[in-house]
Homo-oligomer: A and B are copies of this chain.
Amino acid sequence: MKPFFHVQTLAEVQARMADLAPLAAEAVPLAAAGGRTLAADVTAPRDLPGFARATMDGYAVRGRDTFGAGETAPGFVTLAGEVVMGQAPTLVLAPGQCARIGTGGMLPAGADAVIPVEHTRPMDERTVELTRAVAPGANVLGPRDEAAAGQVMLARGARLRPQDVGLLAVLGVARPQVVQRPRAAIVSTGDEVVPVGAEPAPGQVRDVNTYTLQTLVREAGGEPVVLGLVGDDPARLRAAVDEARAACDLTLLSGGSSVGQRDLTAEVFLGCPGAELLVHGVAVAPGKPFIWARAGARQLLGLPGQVASCLVAFHLFVEPMIERLLGREARSFTRFGTVAARLARNLPKAPGREEYVRVRLGRDFAGVVAEPVFGKSGLLATLIQGHGLVRVPLEREGLDQGETVTVLVFP
């Protein structure tokens, strides 16, 4: 039951995620679509807005009737009527005529431009003086400017930002098809772990990973399902994994970083019908004890118990999986900003692995400085005080003081 498994590189592990297929689609109300991921391309059903609109308050004109008009030699047009907002105007502009129009109004037939009101002066009830010329098309949104029929407006896999939700509204997509949120079951192990509401006795600590992981899953676009604390009892662990597997795309089991517990986690995962062990140990710190087994379409994941390690492991392993299951391109740290900074001191690294080191950002006379926050990996304080992470690549022996590094800034 104790499989031999060699430690893989981070790149190898992430490459294994390539065949994770997006989950099924579901329709959601447009009001709830922000942050969700499009399940299919969205095309324009017809030309939009479908008619020419004014983008300024003023007068609809034929551009050529204004040519030569200026402050010193004004032009004159005849007022033929007014465009009522929200209605198709029935009037047709003859040469030399204009019609009053508001922003968003539909241009009458014969008009091809709008002259803004600040470049006009009413002379009498029938005549408008123009103090500027406008070219045909000026201050007008064309009938196909927003969208041309059949044009792909938003692509499958796009995370819907406010402007994208707006575009769906333009297109009349009241219930867009989005990818279902990956459901991630969260199970905490460890006989020393007590609920947050409890007062830990000596030797005990409160359950931190349940809350950290819950927040991480939600921010990554997944739906957390908390199954709670199971201690280190194999039978309870097995029952929790069975329950998780039945309902959730991902099972996140945190804790069990010790060798014996890791073996137990792998054993419980392999006990699931059809389960296959893909990863047991990764050449990365933090994140080394990561375990990944697959049972059908269910991903079973063992994460480090130490909270700072657990958080980095989430970003390295779980977030890219969630992105794959959402049909987004899967890259680590996509929600992290980046800042170029000078390293404040040498960062040595153990051979044969890559490392992610917490840093604080500061400034000196020469620019932005990244100061490593040294501290034990179990300490949350290093994450709270740190602004982000610096990667020390596998092939380097370390990074040098003064070297320019890219800091992945915590979202």
Contact = CB atoms under 8 A, between A and B. Distances in A.
A257 B257 CA distance: 60
A384 B211 contact: no
Interface string A385-411: 000000000000000000000000011
A364 interface: no
Interface in A184-198: 190-194, 196-198
A379 B211 contact: no
Contact of A106 (B196, B202, B308): B202
A88 interface: yes
Contacts of A215: 33-35, 160-162, 165-166
A307 interface: yes
Contacts of A191: 84-86
Given A165-B212, A211-B168, A153 B384 contact: yes
A330 B254 CA distance: 37
B102 A31 contact: no
Contacts of A50: 200, 202
A31 B168 contact: no
B166 A380 contact: yes
A306 B55 contact: yes
Contacts of A89: 203
| Copies per assembly | 2
A213 B31 CA distance: 10
A351 B194 CA distance: 64
Contacts of A164: 384
Given A34-B215, A379-B145, A380-B146, A103 B305 contact: yes
Interface string A251-284: 0000001111100000000000000000000000
A196 B174 contact: yes
A376 B141 contact: yes
Interface of A: 30-31, 33-35, 49-51, 53, 55, 57, 84-89, 102-106, 117, 141, 145-147, 153-154, 160-170, 172-174, 190-194, 196-216, 218-219, 226, 232, 257-261, 305-308, 311, 337-338, 376-381, 383-384, 410-411
9 contacts: A34-B219, A49-B200, A86-B190, A145-B381, A162-B212, A164-B384, A165-B212, A166-B209, A337-B337
